[in-house]
Chain A
């Protein structure tokens, strides 16, 4: 366990400021006709109050499944295979469904990707707001409405009464996402998960929403887990960054570690793809495709696309090595005995 906690990012530097949430060796699989799909494999990380951890990766790398696993929102045929999700020292994976339900929305909240489909179309957003409040507190409709209006005012919405009484289709995407954020933060959760909160929005609206998230994150002191594939968003918002590939975190570190001292070839390839236009006008892209998750190749899953692959990369999955402080990487290139933090 000590070894595992260390891997989750708990080191001497931050031992005094204990993490709000620790995720250790979390694995989530889906049982399909094609066999077991290991969508998330032994993922570990920590979330700290008032900080933003960004999880970055290509589509299908397991980012969203990781996020949903924390709230235990995985529907069959998916299931959480093993691991710990520790919140205030309690392993959420051991709670009953009823205990877990009481934590959803109060201790951990989530903002979803598509604000168009995230509201029930037949009720006003206000009704859906008060419903969430009244599911956890014994308050009247009127009190719930007052709380909701107050929260809506904090996400820079105007004409609150009108917004409150609107049906989802009467609001713009940006407004709906602001309402979503207001509902998610209304009960002052310790952890807020934002699963690609701006992907479905207009570019001009995106920065406003992100600024809002960042400000509220600092104000409420909640820990923010931001799922994204947009490295621009990461640079703007994140304190720490985890890079995911084929269900694993391949590198994790502070935003400076990742942007200035990236160790994993995949991280470096992602970073060069931010400014993809080359001098000859072509695009820098990572060659090849991410692996078929039902059929992950042996060794490092990135090795078939990796320009620096060694022979052992194709045979054995790399262990994890500390680069400095809480920056670690899972790559054979970083191998050395003293850096080793996991494995047999």
Chain B
């Protein structure tokens, strides 16, 4: 066990190192210029000398390997740099936005786990029944409907039509913070985020339950007079959970890294929206920060899931 943990940890660090290079490389190779983004509308007034000055100030005129070395050594010291746009500390910005994403993704995860487990196990145990075909059809619909379209349809029905729920933001602007208000804002993004993931999970758990219930040991347990309900709950589901937990570890961390589409549509102040803003503004430190942070979460999440299974 100790050796497994050690090798898995080493592996994770190597992966994170590669991610940091890719994050840095992609951001700097992408077209666009932070200096131009900084000028925004007034781009006509920018003289070449201004541009050079800005690039000098931001350290963008140095060779890329030198920039990378500077960035990564600061990151290792805990300093993720400052935003080009606002001059604020990237780490502080990440920590500000993370709770929003955390609330959204944990709600979505709870919905995913409870609904997909119930539907998937029931469908897997009654393979080829009407319920199974119905759940398969629904899963494929959920998998193929694009999240942004689904989100807009929900807004159309519940915000524009029925006027039951707010369509954007974290709380109603101009009011004091209340849990109830936040929950109302949370419903639609959480539904969109969880439903777009649910199709895969229903298929996954249904498939693995269907496989597990055909295992020889199920007949053996039956031959010992163990109750059917106990065989399903203790043995079949437990065996079927292994791929589920592994996959969940990965997708929880992907969601934690910020759900770009959902957060952007509902103007949910999370990491996803922050990275969209950063990309638009060519705000390299913020963008690299969010990518690296996502990387840590994904690698860490699958590490935890693997250790949990082991």
* Residue positions of A touching B, CB distance < 8 A: 68, 71, 73, 101-106, 109-110, 112, 114, 117-123, 128, 131-132, 135-136, 180, 183-184
The complex places the Cα of A91 from the Cα of B221 at a distance, in Å, of: 23
Q: Using Cβ atoms and an 8 Å threshold, which residues of chain B touch A112?
A: 216, 219-220, 223
* Interface hit among B157-165, B225-233, B261-269, B289-297: B225-233
A-B contact count (CB 8 A): 68
Q: How far is the CB of B210 from chain A (nearest CB, A)?
A: 13
Flag if B220 contacts A118 (CB, 8 Å): yes
Asked if B227 contacts A110 (CB within 8 A), the reply is no
Give the CA-CA distance A103 to B225 in the complex, in Å: 7
**How far apart sit A151 and B222, CA to CA, in the bound complex (Å)?**
20
Would you give the 0/1 interface string for B209-225, flagging 1 where the beta carbon is closer than 8 Å to chain A? Answer: 00000011101111111
In the complex, what residues of B have CB within 8 A of residue A101's CB? 225-227
Query: Nearest Cβ in chain A — how far from B224, in angstroms?
Result: 4
The 5 nearest A-B residue pairs measured at CB: A104-B225, A105-B225, A117-B216, A105-B224, A132-B224
In the complex, how many angstroms separate the beta carbon of B128 from the nearest chain A beta carbon? 11
A102 to B226, CA, bound (A): 8
Known A-B contacts A118-B216, A122-B238; A110 and B226 likewise in contact (beta carbons under 8 Å): no
| Interface hub of B219, B223, B226 (most chain A Cβ within 10 A) | B223
On chain B, the number of residues with a Cβ less than 8 Å from chain A's Cβ atoms is 18
Residue pairs across A and B with Cβ atoms less than 8 A apart, 20 shown, are A71-B223, A73-B222, A101-B226, A104-B224, A105-B223, A105-B225, A109-B223, A112-B219, A117-B215, A119-B220, A122-B235, A122-B239, A131-B224, A131-B230, A131-B234, A132-B224, A132-B225, A132-B226, A136-B225, A183-B224
Nearest A-chain residue to B215, judged by Cβ: A117
CB within 8 A of A117: which of B217, B226, B238? B217
B→A interface (CB under 8 Å): 215-217, 219-227, 230, 234-235, 238-239, 242
With a cutoff of 8 Å between Cβ atoms, the chain A residues found around residue B222 in the complex are 73, 104
Is B223 within 8 A of A73, CB to CB? Answer: yes
Return chain B residues, CB-CB under 8 Å to A73.
219, 222-223
| A135→B230 CA distance, assembly (Å) | 10
A110–B217 CA distance with the chains assembled, in angstroms: 12
Closest residue on chain A to residue B214 by CB atoms: A75
Task: Tell me the smallest distance from the CB of A184 to a CB of chain B, in Å.
Answer: 8
Complex: chain A residue closest to B216, CB-CB: A117
Please tell me if the beta carbons of A120 and B226 are within 8 angstroms of each other in the complex: no
Chain A neighbourhood of B215, CB < 8 A: 117, 120
A21 CB → nearest B CB, Å: 15
Q: In the complex, what's the smallest C-beta–C-beta distance from A249 to chain B, in angstroms?
A: 23
Given contacts A104-B222, A120-B221, 14 further A-B contacts (CB under 8 A): A103-B225, A104-B225, A105-B223, A112-B216, A112-B223, A114-B216, A118-B216, A118-B220, A119-B220, A120-B235, A122-B235, A132-B226, A135-B224, A180-B220
A118: chain B residues within 8 A (beta carbon): 216-217, 220
Shortest B240–chain A CB gap in Å is 10
A110–B219 CA distance with the chains assembled, in angstroms = 10
Please tell me if the beta carbons of A104 and B223 are within 8 angstroms of each other in the complex: yes
Among B221, B225, B227, the most chain A Cβ lie within 10 Å of the Cβ of B225
Tell me, in angstroms, the Cα distance from A119 to B223 when the chains sit together.
Answer: 12
Q: Are A102 and B217 in contact (CB under 8 A)?
A: no
Residue of chain B at shortest CB distance from A135: B226
Interchain CA distance A326-B114 in the complex, whole Å = 61
